[in-house]
Structure 1
């Protein structure tokens, strides 16, 4: 009887030990035990974040996200990229759908009230994309010309307000439609962030057809969105971004994704410094 009691007690201890071990299955930032990390990106921005027909992903944001995830302890096969559209980025973080978001996510005060940001990791500017043989050399040359942007965007109106009040605005549902209109000659220029424009122009099917004018109509500081209050993750991502710049990986990613469009990128921004 005594032996049975001891055995039962031992079994109970063993069960508790196994349970505790199972519950403590490893640090999420270590990537151990087959853990995955969900990262929000864009699926429809060539050169930035694009889901390819074969299911793979490409673009500068994808390269940055992959580098950062590796520094957090995750191998590429452990990364699950999740499409996060602009209108749902804050909600995706607050719901915990993703660990962090790398999706041409400009840092501003309104967003900072809802999420925390690491970075910035890229300073972009609103610019104009025209045909390579276009006579448009500056924004003012758009007076009397057709300018395309996306419905709901303030980019085209920004051009009219600041540099070309006589430009004729054309709004399409997406930038792909604007690029097609530029290629056909239906419009004379397309406007949005220079990084996005460069990404389209760098596609194989468009190489050599378009060029950036070089206007800098706004400063867009791309940051990595993290759930509000998660300072530990912000600090780890900032350290990863600094390392990416220091070891040359950042420059390689810029050249690979934007170089074919002749994109004259700004130097890597300083972590925590937002250019107004």
Structure 2
């Protein structure tokens, strides 16, 4: 895989080549311009991976991906963003559609059989989003309440199975529908990863209306997925993630994307430290 644009050695060689050309005349332009890197993200998750109406991309995953790409030698203009829905992430890597994926991609033993993971770069938890004036301190508080999540999600079923068997589970096509229901009072809580919930709650139209319950119902270790066997790329991404943390760029990305939701994030995880 050709994931390199400018290293110290290649930059020196390029300067020498330019000098030789200037002195001797002739020669072709062999610069590295034009190289691209394709990164898989979500397009529909505010605060994490969102394609905006003007065609730009925002979110924590996007900021992490940009930083990693920069450390790999790619400018932001060299990035080709590719939407990678959850169900297609492994296939996208196997087909070579993307070079790596940063898309709320939880590291699991089952997934590690198909892809390799750098990171983790964020420890999230399944949680509940409730109205700001609601007092929910444990999963059992949802018994008799209306709990919303997207159709096919395991999050809501986990709450119903493990914490609140008498919750009234309502499934919708999108999280936005759940948010509308939460705002109107039609539902009492929305459940998925706390990072995703924080991203939605941080949107301008929802600021101050919702809050995270802070229940930590599960551990979700977000990693960057790469094609199985891409060891060198994996090492380079891990080095980039460590640098992002040490330079405090990770903290800035958290504040920029989740700050308005008062998201009490976990500290940046250590590479390879998977919390069960």
Give me the TM-score of the superposition, normalised by structure 2: 0.89
- Separation (CA, whole Å) in 1 of partners of 2:222 and 2:170: 27
CA distance in 2, matches of 1:218, 1:145: 21
- Equivalent residues in 2 for 1:169-188, closer than 5 Å: 169-188=169-188
Task: Trace 1:205-224 onto structure 2 (pairs within 5 A).
Answer: 205-224=205-224
What are the Cα deviations for residues 14-46 of structure 1, in whole angstroms up to 9, with x where unaligned?
xxxxxxxxxxxxx64116322010000000000
Is 1:226 aligned to 2:226, yes or no?
yes
Give the CA deviation at 1:135. Answer: 3.0
User: Which residue of 1 is the match for residue 4 of structure 2?
Assistant: 29
Contact 2:127 2:215 in 1 (8 A): yes
Give 1:213 deviation, angstroms.
Answer: 0.3
Match of 1:103 in 2: 103
**Structure 2 stretches lacking a partner, 5+ long:** 7-31
2:229 counterpart of 1:235: no
- Secondary structure (helix, strand or coil) at the match of 2:116 reads strand
Q: How many residues of Structure 1 are paired with residues of Structure 2 in the alignment?
A: 250
Q: Deviations over 1:174-211 (max 9, x none)?
A: 11111111111110000000000000000011111100
Instruction: Tell me what 1:259 maps to.
Output: 259
Matched position secondary structure for 1:190 = strand
- CA root-mean-square deviation: 0.9
TM-superposed CA distance for 1:140, in Å, is 1.6
Aligned in 2, Cα 1:28/1:135: closer, same or farther, shift over 3 Å? closer
2:269 aligns with: 269
The DSSP-based 3-state class of the residue aligned with 2:33 is helix
Aligned to 1:5: none
Deviations 1:34-89 (A, max 9, x none): 20100000000000100000000000000000000000000000001100000100
Task: Flag the 1:28–1:106 CA change in 2: closer, same or farther, 3 A.
Answer: closer
TM-score for the superposition, normalised by structure 1: 0.89
Residues in 2 aligned to 1:76 and 1:30: alpha-carbon distance in whole angstroms: 12
Structure 1 unaligned segments of length 5 or more: list them.
1-26
**Corresponding residue of 1:147:** 147
Partners of 1:263 and 1:44 in 2: CA distance = 19
Question: What is the match of residue 61 of structure 1?
Answer: 61
- The equivalent residue for 1:161 is 161
**4+ runs of 1 displaced by more than 3 Å?**
none
Deviation at 1:139, TM superposition (A): 1.9
